[in-house]
């Protein structure tokens, strides 16, 4: 595992729990709006935090923190993620995994361990527009498989989409809804210009409140619980 960042306390990363968040280094996608170049662009990688430092922190927070969120980057890029999560579970923590679903075999194996309590999966776009957001081709089958695995896993989960104009617009939500039809919970995350961005040359904008509400209404045709973040 390569951990490039640690947020020591969060009330929002794991639903209903006081959590710390670990950020893994490395991601095969190149989303224009990504605000973590130090986890995504090899030349800008953060210096990894030694695992002993991470586990000594986790040990010291037993009884104070309830959960650990493993985010990225893309955590499932790391083949030893399963054993890493097991060590965290052995300390008594609830574990949440953030993923964008590019490695469905690893998602499947991780779900089967029973060590993960909650998964948040990014839905980047309607499936036929994925490559225009992530700058990588031929991911469609993997993404669809991860969605199906999650929806049939019995594990609590959410899907979520970051929306930045002009990459996505209200017109894209029918396609997103079709992709996750029948899902439990979906969040629309409006773009907020970050201090750093993987592609700083591209000019992006948030959706208006009216556009967000239109997107929410469309998604209600496909998913029971739809919220705006």
State the residues that interact with ligand SF4 by CB under 6 A: 27, 29-31, 34, 36, 40, 72-74, 100, 198
Contact 19, 13 (CB under 8 A): yes
For residues 76 and 115, which CB has a smaller minimum distance to ligand SF4 in the complex? 76
Distance CA 106, CA 83 (A): 12
To ligand SF4, the closest distance from the beta carbon of 98 in angstroms equals: 8
To ligand SF4, the closest distance from the beta carbon of 29 in angstroms equals: 4
Contact 151, 182 (CB under 8 A): yes
To ligand SF4, the closest distance from the beta carbon of 26 in angstroms equals: 9
For residues 199 and 211, which CB has a smaller minimum distance to ligand SF4 in the complex? 199
Distance CA 69, CA 96 (A): 5
To ligand SF4, the closest distance from the beta carbon of 93 in angstroms equals: 23
For residues 72 and 177, which CB has a smaller minimum distance to ligand SF4 in the complex? 72
Query: In the block, which residue shows the tokens 């990363």?
Result: 13
Distance CA 91, CA 160 (A): 29
Candidates 220, 197, 155, 149; CA nearest to 44 is: 197
């Amino acid at each position: 595992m390569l951990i490039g960042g640690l947020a020591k306390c969060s009330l929002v990363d794991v639903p209903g729990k006081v959590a710390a968040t670990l950020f893994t280094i490395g991601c095969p996608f190149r989303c224009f709006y990504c605000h973590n170049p130090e986890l995504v662009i090899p030349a800008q990688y953060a210096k990894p935090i030694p695992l002993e430092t991470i586990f000594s922190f986790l040990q010291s927070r037993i009884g104070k923190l309830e959960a650990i969120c493993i985010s990225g980057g893309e955590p499932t890029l790391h083949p030893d993620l399963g054993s890493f999560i097991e060590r965290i579970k052995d300390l008594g923590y609830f574990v949440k995994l953030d993923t964008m679903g590019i490695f469905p075999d690893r998602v499947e194996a991780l779900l089967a361990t029973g060590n993960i309590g909650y998964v948040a999966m990014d839905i980047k776009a309607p499936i036929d527009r994925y490559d225009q957001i992530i700058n990588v081709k031929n991911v469609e089958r993997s993404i669809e498989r991860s969605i199906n695995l999650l929806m049939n896993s019995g594990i609590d989960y959410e899907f979520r989409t970051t929306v930045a104009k002009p990459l996505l617009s209200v017109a894209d939500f029918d396609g997103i809804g079709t992709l996750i039809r029948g899902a439990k919970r979906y969040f629309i995350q409006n773009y907020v210009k970050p201090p750093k961005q993987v592609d700083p040359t591209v000019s992006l904008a948030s959706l208006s409140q009216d556009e967000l509400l239109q997107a929410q209404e469309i998604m209600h045709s496909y998913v029971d619980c739809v919220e705006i973040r």
